[in-house]
């Protein structure tokens, strides 16, 4: 145990930029959010936030995806800080149950449609990958852009007519349009929020900039062997090494009307507290999943967050100001991603300019 690393648990920790390679292109809206010039689309369309998880993919850097923190002891992986004292950083209950953060946060910006895919639920992940975590996830749409005149959409859930036999036939024949026609196509706008449970087929359309809070794995089963942009996808990214038959078992073959799908998976934010200085909304909470939580703080003044013996992450989507804790002040600005350890019992955010702060929480 590195005793000297435990001192960082008492201060808010900002991570360095952590862009990750994916099989699709995008990322210009991440640059815009980060105020990074030039704003360009490319092969790193995701920003992984407070990650102790490495990204999967052949011939990629060994530690791609792991978050790094700049400290007085140099640049250190967040994982090294946490491992120096799990209970101090994570909180006793989370440390004893998981020994890790239990959550992964991403900012995702798509120039092209992502491949049709599915993630494992906990039972499949436990049985097939020997993992305590599946990959239930959530989407909070922050911005959209038209690509080639097309509005932003997402695809999710099987339509009423779909059978496992039909789905397998589309996969075997690589009938991409057939697969898309099996899923509900939903136009999205900023503020929309969706739960994507393990086993539910889905795809993010072009032009979506969203926050994705999820279980901390990179298990993705894809049914398209070529991306919409023409990139060939290797077997390891299609079925994660388990084979095509086992991959197809990852899907839940429940079917829904569009109204049923929206009722089941589209989430309406609720106001938890408000004043003339702030509005605190909850998006994803225990009513939807015990895997993670997400709140949104709209701040035009001052707001104090009381700790609950567990870490959380503050992502500054807009605005700037000051954080006060343990008798010291720290600046925050748009684009910051801040780990607040369980050791911090109270922190006050005071805005200089109106702020939107996304508060991400680990499993309940």
Distance CA 157, CA 193 (A): 15
Bridge partners, 137 (sequence order):
196, 214
Asked if 195 contacts 265 with a C-beta cutoff of 8 angstroms, the reply is yes
**What would the two tokens of residue 4 be?**
């000297």
User: How far is the CA of 265 from the CAs of 99, 268, 284, 316, in angstroms?
Assistant: 30, 10, 11, 26
User: Which residue is listed with tokens 């605005």?
Assistant: 319
Question: Encoding tokens for residue 151?
Answer: 């509005």
- Span between the terminal Cα atoms of the chain, in Å: 27
How far apart (Å, rounded) are the C-alpha atoms in residues 174 and 223?
Answer: 8
Tens of pLDDT along the chain (364 residues)?
Answer: 577 899 999 999 999 999 999 989 999 999 999 999 999 999 999 999 999 988 877 778 889 999 999 998 899 999 999 999 999 999 999 999 999 999 999 999 999 999 999 999 999 999 999 999 999 999 999 999 999 999 999 999 999 999 999 999 999 999 999 999 999 999 999 999 999 999 999 999 999 999 999 999 989 999 999 999 898 998 988 999 999 999 999 999 999 999 999 999 999 999 999 999 999 999 999 999 999 999 999 999 999 999 889 999 999 999 999 999 999 999 999 999 999 999 999 999 999 999 999 999 999 8
Q: Up-side HSE of residue 212: CA atoms within 13 Å toward CB?
A: 24
Secondary structure (3-state) at 335? coil
The strand pair at 337-340 and 312-325 is best described as: antiparallel
Q: What is the pLDDT, as a whole number, of residue 1?
A: 55
Angle at 177 between CA 182 and CA 58, to 5 degrees: 100
Residue with structure tokens 């035009």? 300
Using CA atoms, how far residue 56 sits from 2, 61, 168, 207, 221, in Å, is 29, 10, 25, 24, 12
Q: Where are the alpha helices (DSSP H) in 44-119?
A: 78-84, 86-90, 92-97
């Amino acid at each position: 145990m590195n005793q000297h690393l435990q001192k960082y648990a008492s201060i808010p920790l900002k991570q360095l930029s952590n862009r990750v390679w994916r099989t699709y292109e995008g990322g210009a809206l991440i640059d815009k959010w980060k105020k990074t010039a030039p704003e360009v689309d490319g092969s790193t369309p995701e920003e992984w936030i407070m990650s102790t998880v490495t990204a999967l993919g052949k011939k990629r850097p060994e530690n791609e995806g792991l978050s790094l923190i700049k400290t007085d002891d140099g640049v250190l992986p967040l994982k090294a800080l946490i491992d120096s004292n799990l209970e101090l950083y994570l909180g006793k209950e989370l440390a004893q149950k998981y020994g890790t953060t239990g959550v992964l946060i991403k900012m995702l910006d798509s120039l092209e449609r992502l491949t049709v895919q599915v993630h494992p639920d906990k039972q499949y992940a436990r049985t097939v990958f020997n993992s305590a975590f599946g990959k239930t996830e959530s989407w909070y749409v922050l911005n959209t852009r038209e690509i080639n005149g097309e509005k932003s959409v997402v695809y999710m859930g099987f339509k009423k007519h779909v059978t496992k036999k039909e789905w397998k036939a589309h996969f075997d024949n690589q009938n991409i349009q057939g697969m898309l026609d099996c899923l509900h196509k939903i136009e999205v706008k900023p503020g929309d929020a969706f739960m994507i449970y393990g086993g539910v087929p889905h795809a993010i359309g072009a032009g979506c900039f969203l926050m994705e809070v999820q279980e901390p794995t990179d298990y993705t089963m894809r049914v398209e062997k070529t991306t919409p942009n023409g990139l060939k996808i290797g077997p390891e990214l299609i079925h994660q090494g388990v084979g095509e038959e086992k991959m197809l078992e990852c899907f839940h073959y429940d079917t829904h009307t569009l109204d049923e799908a929206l009722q089941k998976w589209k989430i309406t934010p609720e106001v938890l507290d408000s004043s003339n200085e702030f509005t605190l909304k909850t998006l994803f909470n225990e009513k939807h999943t015990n895997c993670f939580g997400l709140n949104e703080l709209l701040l035009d003044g001052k707001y104090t967050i009381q700790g609950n013996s567990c870490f959380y992450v503050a992502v500054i989507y807009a605005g700037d100001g000051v954080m006060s804790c343990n008798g010291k002040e720290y600046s925050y600005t748009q684009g910051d991603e801040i780990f607040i350890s369980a050791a911090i019992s109270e922190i006050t955010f005071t805005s200089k300019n109106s702020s939107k702060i996304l508060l991400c929480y680990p499993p309940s």
